[in-house]
Structure 1
Amino acid sequence: MNRFGKIVCFAIGIVFLLSGLGKVVDVYAFQNLIVQYGFKPFNILAPAIAILEVVLGTLFLLRVGIKAISWMAFGLLLIFSAAYTYGYFVNGIADCGCFGPHVRIESPSFTYVRNLVLIAGCLYLIKCPVEAKPFGAWRMRVALTVFAPSLFLSGATFRYMPLKSYEHPFQGMRVDET
């Protein structure tokens, strides 16, 4: 793989890893966002989506199975772009929820440009000649070191309170109740 391919692989890996970790920390908020988008039956997939993003990001950074994970990321980005388009135009939701509740990106143009750049990067990696990297012992340790805590956190915040709440503690209460 050439230098540009390695940079693209690193950039896509960082974006997916940060996006997945942002959702893993508060899966409950991500579930609510899925419901707001109008996809209530799919809110049960919130932990799986967050974990999948963490795994894809980690594999991109380790450069393991680049063609296969590029295809997976390409498909996931197409689904996310279609869901965002539906949520934006039908339900008026501007926040894409890409990095969880901690980072709010309410610019549709930025979201579409970012997704197009990521899709182009995935297509480049699919077409780019790649040498096969074995999934050695150290890569397995790194992947498990990232995957195991992510799996735990996504389960811990699935139907419960997040690790850190970004709501005001008295929100929705009358003044005499505070």
Structure 2
Amino acid sequence: MKLTKISNRDDRDKEKLRPKHIREIYRGILQDMYSKLDYLNDLALLEAVLIRDEYYDSKDSFASMGLRYGFIQLSVRQNNGTNYYRYYKKNSRSSKDRLWLKPNKRLGQTTEKTFTKHSVHKDEVHNCKITEDEFIRLRKQDRLTRETMRRIRELKIMEGVKFEAETNSTTAGEENE
């Protein structure tokens, strides 16, 4: 029987129900939604890793075309539940010495101009643009997912509920050396 029919009737279907029971059901559903949103967030990270792998496969094919490998690298990681998709260029032989390519703050993305400035050839720029288009979509999706998770956590009915700790930091094999 639909819940709206029960709520509109005055009979025994409602006799044993109390607001506390309804709140417990509601809280359980919200916790389930939160878990599924967290899973979606992890799936977005996995998709970004696969996109990154395609980026490097494409870079590997540059040699067969007689082109240099290129300088621009990708970093895909998750920190405290937030996914990051960034570009960098190595400054020296040290793997720790990196020049992070800053996205345009107004646009919220890394621009073709930035890629052109740091790339070896136009095919590397094209490869970066294709990858950035995918990352733009993932960033928007991530923002919506994380915002919804935050709103669920902030609901008064969710006070006292323990959510999974989001203190993990995952670097998803960020460089292909």
Q: TM-score range by the shorter chain?
A: 0.3 to 0.5
| TM-score, length of structure 1 as denominator length | 0.34
Q: Which has the higher contact order (CA 8 A, sep 6+)?
A: 1
Q: By percentage of residues, which structure has more strand?
A: 2
